[in-house]
Structure 1
Amino acid sequence: MSQAEKLRVGVVGGGYIGTTVGGQFNTDPRSTVTALADVNQETRRTAGDALYVGDGSQYEDYREMYDSEPLDAVLVGTPHTLHYEMVTAALDRDLHVFCDKPLTTDLEEARELAERDEESEQVLMVGYQRHLNPAFQTARERWQGDAGESDADAAGGESNPDPDFLSAEITQNWISRFEDTWRTDPDLSGGGNLYDTGSHLVDAVLWTTGLVPEEVSAEMVFADDEGRVDERAILTVEFKSGAQGTISVHSDAPCVREHIHVWDEEGAVYLEGRQWEKRKLERVDEDSTTVIPYIDRSQQRSKAEAFIDCIETGETPPATARDALAVTALTEAAYESARSGERVSVDVE
């Protein structure tokens, strides 16, 4: 494939997501990063070096990059509250968009983007990486079957079991690690850890099980006097199916551990992991036997690879704007519940 035929990607935000996922686009032979925008001059310089973007294609204003560069797609890797305007501006210019999670921190903005995405010919993919993880994909098949199959077809003529209850927890040294950064500035992050690392956990629960949240009661410990930056969050969720679950985010632990346990009438699925290593999958049968299924990780795609595949083939992105809407809806309802002390309805429609 010639340089002229490659997907031309502009990166908005030269931080961790911009350089790591941007690097994936440079590694894939079908794409190349051709432009970069960041408000910080030093970040532009270091990210430009990392992504091989020259000074002439580096911009302080992302809008100028959109209008000046011959782009096909953009990668939005900026603080959470900036995503909506950057994604919207890109879609207005008929660009494909890969946006880091969360898609937005405002429910109405999330709903608007989900509806727009479903009417658009452009690809809008959200960076929830659990959707590309073979362990989570395998777990998802238990309750939803393979993509394109009905429940009955996937189970050999029998419906898949419905989850009855679940518990999900992630721990991290988030408060100490990100003190005095944008992640602990609610004007940029939208909240605290529930909107950061916790967003992946919430998404993993909803996407893997297919459960739709109906109500949530939340308790939070806030790190700021205004009650905006949560360092601990415990959500008790009622789902439309009647299932129940707890989702917990702890930000003052010394290390990262993730545990997701989902039970149904046939037993349970355990998804476990430490730090950012590959997650392990265990199945607990109803007689208490533990089985470790074979997980084929050889075909796992990177975020950039999956995004380009969607553009080329028309396949639905692994993580859609509709998926992201559900995460924002539950997260916003949880914050409302923690501040009010009341159980709050979750509006995912």
Structure 2
Amino acid sequence: MDTIRIGFIGCGNIAHSHALRMSQLEGVEIVALADPGERGRQLLKQKFGLEQAAEFDSHTDMLASDTMDAVIICSPHTLHARHAEEALMAGKHVLIEKPMTCSSEEAKRLMSAAERSGKKLQVSFQRHFLPPFLYIRSAIADGVIGKLTSVTATLLQDWKDAQKGTWRQMPELSGGGMLMDSGSHIIDVLLWTTGLTPQHVAVQLECHGSPVEVDTFTSIRFAEGAIGSMNIVGLVPLAKLKETYAFIGEAGAIFYDNGRITLQLNGQEPVEPKLPEAVTDPDRSFIDAIRGKHEVLVPAEYALKVVTFTETIYAAAGYEVVPAKQPDVAGGRVS
């Protein structure tokens, strides 16, 4: 396969990040854009010089055109499962934005569809490629801080006000609130870096008048013995988000504060460890996986763990995302 031809389902903001990375790769061409909004398609075209890319109001029409090898799913959350499954069944490799799906049932069905199709399915959890998180995962696996005893994770973001009136606060499109949205990254980091298995949770949840949940405070008991907490806070007067973690072990601790890593071993002075270099990203690794250079680096199994834990938190809080019925949207992005 010489040139890999890419189609987009959904042309909103996150599509621009993927288009930028794809435009920097050799042997990759963006050939089709599907979105019910012409403005979204045009903005993407103009920004990245995609004059030759075909435009479609409907993702089904784009897939039927059979002009592409792979599809990037950037549509609203509740549409992910449908769009990705149809792309796989049309014989396309799929890179899908987070959350992969809004339920574990959908995730398992999508994984089965990928297996039947023989095509690649990768989830765009970008923290898997960032040096601080690569270091954290490696250090924990290598026993640098000993057996984990506790883990805390916090995300503070002006999510409620920033997303007011957008599809992210429409349950039929978002599938949940901040936990399902930005929170999926935090859950992914918590589970991927530590390898821990959530066993019991206690949850406090608040919507602050929003149609979806905004704040969740979750205490966790892991099967391996560690305890933890995860606080996803969407009503915060911050211009920039604040993301912090503390990984505490029997021999020391690793602290993360908005990209800065501190290693504190028992009885020693704190240090900032040397981090590994970033060698790839969600888009480059997806293309390399299609070309057979390596396996998919963020397979669907991680996304299944994330959405399963999200369901556990919602259930513990007695929270139901309503309405559950998906809207009849033909393409990707909804303004």
TM-score by shorter chain over 0.5: yes
Q: What is the match of residue 328 of structure 2?
A: none
Q: What is the match of residue 309 of structure 2?
A: 330
Q: What is the match of residue 102 of structure 1?
A: 99
Kept after mapping to 2: 8 A contact 1:114/1:325: no
Kept after mapping to 1: 8 A contact 2:145/2:251: no
Kept after mapping to 2: 8 A contact 1:310/1:316: yes
Q: What is the match of residue 282 of structure 1?
A: 262
> How many matched pairs?
318
Kept after mapping to 1: 8 A contact 2:31/2:53: no
1:267 and 1:125 mapped to 2: Cα distance? 34
Q: What is the match of residue 248 of structure 1?
A: 231
1:316 and 1:260 mapped to 2: Cα distance? 29
Shift of residue 288 of structure 1?
5.2
Per-residue CA deviations over 1:190-220 (Å, capped at 9, x if unaligned) read 1110111111111111001111222222111
* Residue from 315, 318, 329 that aligns with 2:297: 318
What fraction of aligned residue pairs are identical, expressed as a percent?
A: 29
Q: Structure 1 unaligned runs (5+)?
A: 146-154, 274-278, 342-349
Query: What amino acid sits opposite 1:324 in the alignment?
Result: A
Kept after mapping to 2: 8 A contact 1:117/1:321: no
Kept after mapping to 1: 8 A contact 2:145/2:253: no
Per-residue CA deviations over 1:134-161 (Å, capped at 9, x if unaligned) read 110111012335xxxxxxxxx7xxx983
Q: What is the match of residue 292 of structure 1?
A: 272
* Residue from 70, 76, 81 that aligns with 1:79: 76
Which fold has the larger relative contact order, with Cα–Cα distance below 8 Å and residues 6 or more apart in sequence? 2
Kept after mapping to 2: 8 A contact 1:166/1:245: yes
1:7 and 1:310 mapped to 2: Cα distance? 12
Shift of residue 54 of structure 1?
3.7
Shift of residue 128 of structure 1?
0.7
- Superposition pairs of residues 105-116 of structure 1, within 5 angstroms: 105-116=102-113
Kept after mapping to 2: 8 A contact 1:25/1:305: yes
2:195 and 2:250 mapped to 1: Cα distance? 16
* Residue from 61, 64, 80 that aligns with 1:64: 61
Shift of residue 116 of structure 1?
4.3
Q: What CA RMSD, in Å, does the superposition of the two structures yield over aligned residues?
A: 2.1
Q: Structure 2 unaligned runs (5+)?
A: 321-335
Query: What amino acid sits opposite 1:72 in the alignment?
Result: D
Q: What is the match of residue 24 of structure 2?
A: 27
Q: What is the match of residue 233 of structure 1?
A: 216
Shift of residue 10 of structure 1?
0.1
Per-residue CA deviations over 1:28-65 (Å, capped at 9, x if unaligned) read 11311110000112212222222433477100100110
1:172 and 1:207 mapped to 2: Cα distance? 22
Say yes or no: does 1:161 pair with 2:146: yes
2:2 and 2:295 mapped to 1: Cα distance? 23
Shift of residue 249 of structure 1?
0.7
Q: What is the match of residue 92 of structure 1?
A: 89
2:10 and 2:269 mapped to 1: Cα distance? 48
- TM (normalized to structure 2)? 0.89
Q: What is the match of residue 182 of structure 2?
A: 197
